A and B are shown apart, each in its own frame.
Chain A
Amino acid sequence: MIGQAIADGILTGAIIALGAIGVTFTLAIMRFANFAHSELLTWGAYMALVVVAFAGPGTPTGPFSFGWQLLAAALVAAALTGLAAWAVDALVFRRLRRRGALPLTMVFAAFGAALVMRHLVVLIWGHESHYYTRELQIAVELLPGVRMLPDQLFIVGLALAAMLTLHVFLARSRTGMAMRAMAESPALAQVCGIEVEAVVRLTWIISGALAAFAGVFLGLTPQLHPEIGFNLLLSLFAAAILGGAGSLAGAVVGGFLVGLAENLSLLVVSPGYKGAMPFLLLLAILIVRPHGIFGDRS
């Protein structure tokens, strides 16, 4: 029982972590809580659905329920969602930023953007569930009593690879350094000659791309619906705040901790209350360590 909950927790945790990376960078670089971020997950998932509708999910390769086409669809969706995130910024957030709007005004705008984005999906695809593929798979027994589908193992692997790539990019490249500098102190970064708008644009594109991956993974386990991202909103915030704003390692650790906590709680709490778990965790974090495990901003 506990073993299975931990395995499920790692799976949800990987997806939450991918989404939380975008939240944590928006919190640190743009200085606002982006309530519309969860909708980027939904958009990513549905954009991949469009590609799959044209190209098909491909013949199942090896133990997986999909072929290379779905991977290609995820990459296309990542690129499109990155651009979409940047477009929303250009249409709404950048205008407010230029006017010197307060961070909380940005949050209201994010409310509005989230409503529009989520219901555009309803408008186009309706409330029904959609599937990338209807292939059945056989679970693998990893340890006695712990089973996971091959697709799920693939998701965890690919998520970890994406996080590692981002880590190397942030640690080694000049642009990555600029992003970290902005997350530390936007004013100081500007004084050092960092082009703020370029970093902001890059942040949106990276956040959107990772959100799209998270969305495709959500859609793969097992279906897509318009609330797919919205239902994860509190988990994303809990993970980002747990890790501390602007910290990649924090968001990843936070994501896995939230995923584990949600699934382990099911051992004692009725599934109807699962949605309240990230909130309770968040409350506990905000009371004990308001700046997260890795954050030290005062």
Chain B
Amino acid sequence: MLSYLVFFACIVLILGVLTLALNLQWGFTGVFNAGVVGFYAIGAYTHAILTAAPQPQYVGNFGLPWLVGVLAAMAATALAGWLIGLVTIRLRGDYLAIATFGVAVSIQLVTLNWERLTGGPQGLTRIGKPLARLFDTPFAFNLWFLGLMIVVMALVYWALERILRSPWGRVLRAIREDETAAIALGKSARRFRLEAFVLGSALMGLAGALYVSFIGFVSPFDFLPIVTFQVWAMLIVGGSGNNRGALLGALVVWAIWAGSGVLVSKLVPPSRAAQGAAIQVILIGLLLMLALLFRPRGLIGEAAVVSRHVND
């Protein structure tokens, strides 16, 4: 039980980084990224290709150190975000959603088909884990990874809170609320949206690298479109525009997902596993719609910001 809780906490924290990244893009800037899983996958695969133990049949698998993999994953995802953003960031909301959704679909096709680099449907194994040699049992490693994740999460959270309170962060919210007004004040909405998009992408890449270095292998079937919708459910249930809300949403939605998975595996015979998995997805879909209908602000919505001069 304890080992499962540790595992669960690690996954929630990784997904929490992903949700915080989406919160930066959507919650604070109003950039509709419907291809979250694509950026997550770029980070995961960059890390895997750079750090996995060398094997002759693959062009990648450089066996580089863990930290190099993580930093390169962030850089590669930021670069991808910049290139994609250059083309798509000016699109209006739902068109941007369609375009980024297409990005994610295309990235998944690359991971499936470019076998020499990505291992194709088999994926890649023996991926660089942080200081894995020092730990004898999987449990000890997971416990160490949980500690590492808490530090990473604290850093990401602190950094995001800081920059969102900075003048740069205020411009993002100004653009979200009224793009025309922000432009009239001389702020280039396009540039700020692109910057937020790239920074969010880098964080999604970080989450991807952390995920594969926790699990130890990478497969295209971990990066299906459902991940995007799960992360969106986390953000909306938790409270878009509030980082604490995003983290709470990650916890609540993943608890419902994992909990329903356990229940389904107990109640549904193995021959009906596909139907059981369908029930889990239906729950996520219902949760998303119910949150929008009955609690549109989320569990902890964005705090209202009132000027301190309001009573002057």
- Chain A positions within 8 Å of B, measured between CB atoms, are 27, 32-33, 35, 92, 95-96, 99, 101, 103-105, 107-109, 111-116, 118-120, 122-123, 126-127, 233-234, 237, 241, 270, 272-273, 275-276, 278-280, 282-283, 286-287, 290
Contact = CB atoms under 8 A, between A and B. Distances in A.
A118 B94 CA distance: 21
Interface in B215-252: 226, 229, 232-233, 236
Contact of A287 (B87, B226, B289, B292): B87
Interface of B: 32, 34, 87-88, 91, 93-95, 97-99, 101-103, 105-106, 109, 112-113, 226, 229, 232-233, 236, 274-275, 277-279, 281-282, 284-289, 292-293, 296
28 contacts: A32-B94, A92-B293, A105-B296, A107-B93, A107-B97, A109-B293, A111-B232, A112-B233, A112-B286, A112-B288, A115-B226, A115-B284, A115-B285, A116-B282, A119-B279, A119-B281, A122-B274, A122-B275, A123-B282, A234-B102, A241-B95, A276-B106, A276-B109, A279-B105, A279-B106, A282-B99, A282-B102, A286-B99
User: Which of B94, B103, B229 lies at the interface centre, i.e. has the most chain A CB atoms within 10 A of its CB?
Assistant: B94
A109 B289 contact: yes
Contact of A290 (B95, B102, B277): B95
Contacts of B101: 35, 233-234
Contact of B113 (A32, A272, A290): A272
Contacts of A104: 32, 93-94, 97
Given A104-B32, A286-B88, A111 B93 contact: no
A118 B285 CA distance: 10
Nearest to B101: A234
Contacts of A283: 87-88, 99, 102
Contacts, number: 127
A234 B101 CA distance: 8
Nearest to A117: B285
Contacts of B292: 96, 101, 105, 108-109, 112
If over half of A's interface residues share one DSSP class (helix, strand or loop), that class is named, otherwise mixed; here it is helix
If over half of B's interface residues share one DSSP class (helix, strand or loop), that class is named, otherwise mixed; here it is helix
A279 B95 contact: no
A290 B88 CA distance: 11
B289 A112 contact: yes
A122 B275 CA distance: 6
Nearest to B287: A112
Contact of B95 (A33, A95, A99): A33
B97 A119 contact: no
Nearest to A226: B278
A278 to B, nearest CB: 7
A119 B278 contact: yes
B111 to A, nearest CB: 11
A113 B113 contact: no
Contacts of A32: 94
B285 A114 contact: yes
B97 A95 contact: no
A104 B34 CA distance: 11
Given A96-B292, A115-B229, A279-B102, A107 B279 contact: no
A123 B268 CA distance: 12
Contact of A112 (B34, B88, B95, B285): B285
Contacts of A287: 87
A115 B88 CA distance: 25
User: Which of B32, B103, B232, B282 lies at the interface centre, i.e. has the most chain A CB atoms within 10 A of its CB?
Assistant: B282
User: Which of B88, B95, B98, B274 lies at the interface centre, i.e. has the most chain A CB atoms within 10 A of its CB?
Assistant: B98
Contacts of B236: 108
A280 B201 CA distance: 21
Given A126-B275, A270-B113, A276 B286 contact: no
Given A123-B282, A282-B102, A108 B232 contact: yes
B98 A115 contact: no
A119 B281 CA distance: 7
Contacts of A275: 105-106, 109
